[in-house]
Every structure is written in structure tokens, then in C-alpha cells.
Amino acid sequence: MPESIPSRQRALVLERHCEDLIEAIEGLKVAERPVPEPGRGQVLVKIEAAPCNPSDLVFLQAKYGALKTLPSVPGWEGAGRVVASGGGWLAGWLVGQRVASALEGDRDGTWAEYFLADASDCIPLSPKLPIDQAASLIINPLTAVGLLETARRRRHRAAVHTAGASQVGRMILAIANEAGYPVIHVVRRRAQVDLLRALGTEHVLDSSRDDFSEQLRAASADLGATIAFEAVAGPMTGRVLNAMPPGSTVYVYGALSEEPCSGIDPIGLLFRDQTVTGFYLARWLRKQNRLSIFLKARRVQQMLIAGRIATGIERRASLDEAADAMKQYVHQMTDGKVIIHP
């Protein structure tokens, strides 16, 4: 018997952007929104869990590359059960299945009871995968997969990663270890060095040390690390690139410092063939065929189910509790994510 779908739903709604992050979070309000009707090739997902990612916080501040018409519901990814199809064989096949999906476009996101998704963007979930891990299946794990695949396809012998203790950083560590691919993990304090060594890596550097640049220069030369995954920005971009060998490339994929990339030695760009570019997950995914994405997502699910990688979760929150949980998350992101259960 088809599920009864209401015409209205509860959602977290953003009415205005604010550069101050705490003010932006406080501006989120629980409100009623219409339940969207799927068109052909689309499905309606009843959301069971949706994470708050750093990219969501950047969106609240109007600093994300893809903005939406306000008022709007934030949330770039989530997981739940498909309850309706707008037509098309794939959309129809997904009805009744649990899926993970991500959004790119000017429509309401996943911080709501229901979410409109393109059927082609939905990833069917294993019944063995816990819903909280499924909610974060796409952005962090596939970013880790995409960065490492970029490094290996471009024949870099080793890599540097500047947010080693982050959620993505720990996934990069686990995936790279399984593949036998060397990564130099950069962290910000001694306790994080100990944490990553306990997770199974010997190549971890503390950027707060006075001799960090010398250590990175020596390690990069020794391992042949000519690619860096840079999530911090600000002066870190220059500190890393300037310490790397000739021919090195830094892929900036985040801006945790909320500062412009700086400190880059122009001599390295001119005479050492060094470059700085960006990595944007949505753009990388658009270049993959659907089978490739499905296979990568299946591998990620297998690793999550086996416990070889995991999304750390600090707090689970209802829609009414979400804003308070996010304010806590802002100050201790490495402790784990906020997962919203509408």
C-alpha cells in the first residue's frame, strides 16, 4: 500500500546569510514548507538522517560557490527512504529503497523531513549500513577517494594532506594505507600526532613546530611527494607548496582557516614548475560515469560496514535541537559531526 505523503513538512530554513557563523546558525528557524512533488526522473526521499558538514556552514555564510534563492533549506547530503517517484524506470525502481543522495542546485536541501532528489544522484544503500553512516556517505568519503585517485592517476608517488585529523583526513589515512600509498599527514598539535600514529601512520607532522617546514621538505623529498591536498588555506597553502619538490601541485579543496591562500613563493611558480589549483567534489563527480560512481560508493559502504573507515559523530539532534548542536560543532569539529534526525 503506498505511503501517505503529507502536503506540508517541518524543515530548518535559512532566511538570510550572515558572515558571522554563530549569527548565521542562530538565524536558522524551524518552519513549515511544502512537500515537493517529484518530476520525471526525480524521487521524493523521506529523510532519516542528514549531517552538518563544513561546506554547509560555509553556505550559511554565503561563501560557498553554489548559492540558493532564500529562504531555503540547507543541507547538501542525507539518507532516507524513497517514498515516491515522478516517473522513469530508475526513479520507479528506487521506490521503497533506502538511498543516500547529495544536492547541487537551487532547491531545498536535506535538513527537512522530505527531500527532492534526482534519481541518477541516488546511491542505494546496503541494509547493513547504519543510517548515521549512510547520511555522510557522499561528501567526505568520496572526497577522500577522489583526491587519492587524482594523485595516483597523475602518477604522484606520494601526497601531503593538511587536515590530517579531520574526518576526511582519517578516511584518506585508512584508504591510502589499504592501497599502500604514502601520505604525509599534517596536523596542528601534538595530541593529533599521537592520534594518527595510533591509527597506523608514521608520516605525520605537527605544523605548530618551529621546524615544520624543514621536516616537510625532508619528508616530501624522501617519499617523492609532489601533490598536496589542502583543506586549510591561508598561509598553510604557501608553507606546504614552498617546502615541496619542483613540479609539485597543491589541490585546494577547503578553507578551514576562512582566509585566502597566501605565502606562495612566486619563484616556485616561475622556475620550479609548481602550481596551485582547486578540487571540487561535484565537478569531479560530473566527470565520472554512473557505473564508476556506483562502484566507488559500494566500496565505501563496504569499508564503513567493516569499520575500516567511519564518520565520527559527536551529537545527534532533532530539527529543534540542530542549531544549538551546530554551535557546539563549530568549536570542536574534529570530535565528530552533528547528525540531524528530522
Structural domains present in the chain = 8-136+311-340 (3.90.180.10), 142-282 (3.40.50.720)
Q: Is the dihedral of CA 158, 166, 230, 210 positive or negative?
A: negative
Tell me the per-residue pLDDT of 87-133, one tens digit each, with 9 for 90 and over.
Answer: 999 999 999 999 999 987 889 999 999 999 999 999 999 999 999 99
What is the secondary structure of 95-144 as a DSSP string?
A: TT-EEEEE--SSS--SSBSEEEEEGGGEEE--TTS-HHHHHTSSHHHHHH
Residue 271: pLDDT band (50, 70, 90) is very high
What is the secondary structure of 172-227 as a DSSP string?
A: HHHHHHHHT--EEEEESSHHHHHHHHHTT-S-EEETTSTTHHHHHHHHHHHHTEEE
What is the secondary structure of 16-60 as a DSSP string?
A: S--SSHHHHHHTEEEEEEEPPPP-TTEEEEEEEEEEE-HHHHHHH
Is the pLDDT assigned to residue 65 strictly greater than 80? no
pLDDT of residue 1: 54
Report how far residue 82's alpha carbon sits from residue 43's, in angstroms, rounded to the nearest whole number.
6
Provide the mean pLDDT of the chain: 93
Residue 283: pLDDT band (50, 70, 90) is very high
Query: What's this model's pTM, rounded to 2 decimal places?
Result: 0.92
Contacts (Cβ under 8 Å, ≥6 apart) of 77: 50, 51, 53, 100, 101, 102, 103, 110, 135, 136, 137, 138, 139
Tell me the per-residue pLDDT of 139-198, one tens digit each, with 9 for 90 and over.
Answer: 999 999 999 999 999 999 999 999 999 999 999 999 999 999 999 999 999 999 999 999
